[in-house]
Amino acid sequence: MGEHTVASFDEELEHIDRLLRDMDELAAAMVAAAIRALLASDNAMAQRVVSDDTIMDARQRELDDSAITLIAKRQPMAQDLRAVVGAIRMAGDLERIGDLAKNIAKRVSAVGQSATPRNLSHGIDAMADLVLEQLRGVVEHYVSRNADALKELRAADERIDVKYTAVFRELLTYMMEDPRNITACTHLLFCAKNLERIGDHVTNIAENSYYVVTGKQLPADRPKLDETTMSAPAT
């Protein structure tokens, strides 16, 4: 492959990396805005999140088109092929994160016109902070080809699982203590589950990124600490 061709190929790979960063930044902005809208009952902000999902879909299509064109023109091999195919898979996870942020935003009007009481919202707010920390870091670690950071980020998903379990139990307690909390807490439970699923998609991105960078798969037996679906102990 000539020097000019190599340079052009590297530029195309860098373009795909830039598209991934753009999608990651948009996904993080959508999640953050959806949570702010939920906790403040801001319908206008929620509608902007719903509208941003169209932009996310368009960016995924652009990345897919660029990756497929690169494969057809350059016929990459080994790590280069892993990078292109991995980018397509990561873009799919980022698009799903956008969908989940949109789902949270759509619940804003259902919660009601008054802002969610702080005693009901602080747990989900803290959970969102953990998710956003993971989401904002994963693509940067990939672009910088930092395999160790990707491995650590994947393991840190346990914190989100633990927080989700705590939020689940906390909201159930509020519902039992005061039936007037049932509507708001039910919607917050769905939103907390969406945040937990976003964390899982970030983990998928970290795993794909690690494989692209190292050519090795991380162990498949990653522990899940979400205890909300476990059977109750026998009495």
Give residue-wise pLDDT tens across range 103-149.
Answer: 999 999 887 655 566 677 888 999 999 999 999 999 999 999 999 99
Residue 5 has pLDDT above 70, yes or no: no
Can you give the pTM of this predicted structure?
0.88
CA dihedral 174, 44, 51, 208 (to 10 degrees): -40
> Is residue 194 within 8 Å of 100, Cβ to Cβ?
yes
pLDDT in tens, 46-64: 999 999 999 999 999 999 9
Judged on CB neighbours under 10 Å (0-12, 13-18, 19+), 1 is exposed
- CATH class of segment(s) 7-229: mainly alpha
pLDDT band at 212 (very low <50, low <70, confident <90, very high): very high
Say whether pLDDT at 230 is over 70.
no
Long-range CB contact pairs, 167-173, < 8 A, 24+: 167/123, 167/124, 167/127, 167/192, 168/192, 168/228, 169/228, 170/123, 171/120, 171/123
